Amino acid sequence: MKHVYTGKTKDVFELEDGNYLLKFKDDVTGEDGVFDPGANSVGLSIEGAGKAGLKLTQFFFEKLKEKDIPNHYVDADIEKQEMKVAPATVFGNGLEVICRFRAVGSFLRRYGAYVEEGQALDAFVEVTIKDDERLDPPISNDALDMLGILTKEEYEVLKGLTKDISLVVKEELAKKGMELYDIKLEFGRNKANEIILIDEISGGNMRVYKDGKYILPLDLEQLLLG
């Protein structure tokens, strides 16, 4: 297999059969040694982080498979911290699609004049472009279309999938008494040019609370699957 990409938290290899292998690392994003899923740089390395992320990802992707929600997952080897995925191309240089159930984080920083902190939001979807240098700016469907990143029709598909997937995650967390505040997803186009969920779904992609207390991303796997 051929090493094709070194990500912040994953390495990517191309396999002989046309699929790809994601190798989950123990590196997590953060700043000054503090884990922050929203940060753009690798802050520290935590033993077990890769395995916990992969376990959650496998759990959620299998739930999505059951519901016929299209995604790139093929199978996973937890011990090796590896996940096999189908090929997909990202939109432009990559988009982050966020689904919000409560007003926190960058949404609150932007629109704090119109919402209370923690106010309930009805599966609100927004898109940011992956661009560390430009601090992942938000982008409208009109701009995505004009810049040739995503057509208007594709945007509606993306928004619908994002709501469906986020509600699946929310429901699973609710079964264990946890509440999903927001979640960040990534999508791509598969060989048939269909929009599918890619990347991972783990603690690092979402903000989860239990009894009003924030759950650390690395505790999520134990609370949900332990």
Residues that bind a copy of itself (CB under 8 A): 92-93, 109-115, 121-122, 124-126, 129, 131, 133-134, 137-143, 146-149
- In whole angstroms, how close is the CB of 222 to a copy of itself at the nearest point? 34
CA distance 192 to 170: 29
Residue type, 35: F
Identify which of residues 120 and 225 has a Cβ nearer to a copy of itself in the complex. 120
Say whether 201 sits in a helix, a strand or coil. coil
Identify which of residues 74 and 121 has a Cβ nearer to a copy of itself in the complex. 121
Say whether 100 sits in a helix, a strand or coil. strand
CA distance 25 to 13: 13
- In whole angstroms, how close is the CB of 63 to a copy of itself at the nearest point? 26
- In whole angstroms, how close is the CB of 139 to a copy of itself at the nearest point? 7
Identify which of residues 112 and 226 has a Cβ nearer to a copy of itself in the complex. 112
- In whole angstroms, how close is the CB of 166 to a copy of itself at the nearest point? 15
Angstrom distances, CA of residue 159 to CA of 50, 91, 188, 189, 217: 28, 14, 13, 14, 25
Say whether 214 sits in a helix, a strand or coil. strand
List, in order, residues 6 or more apart from 142 with CB less than 8 Å away. Answer: none
Identify which of residues 67 and 134 has a Cβ nearer to a copy of itself in the complex. 134
CA distance 214 to 116: 18
Identify which of residues 107 and 187 has a Cβ nearer to a copy of itself in the complex. 107
63 CA to centre of own chain: 15
Identify which of residues 79 and 122 has a Cβ nearer to a copy of itself in the complex. 122
- In whole angstroms, how close is the CB of 100 to a copy of itself at the nearest point? 9
Indicate the helix (H) or strand (E) that contains 14.
strand 10-14
CB-CB contact of 104 with 181 (8 Å): yes
Strand partners, 28: 44
- In whole angstroms, how close is the CB of 200 to a copy of itself at the nearest point? 23
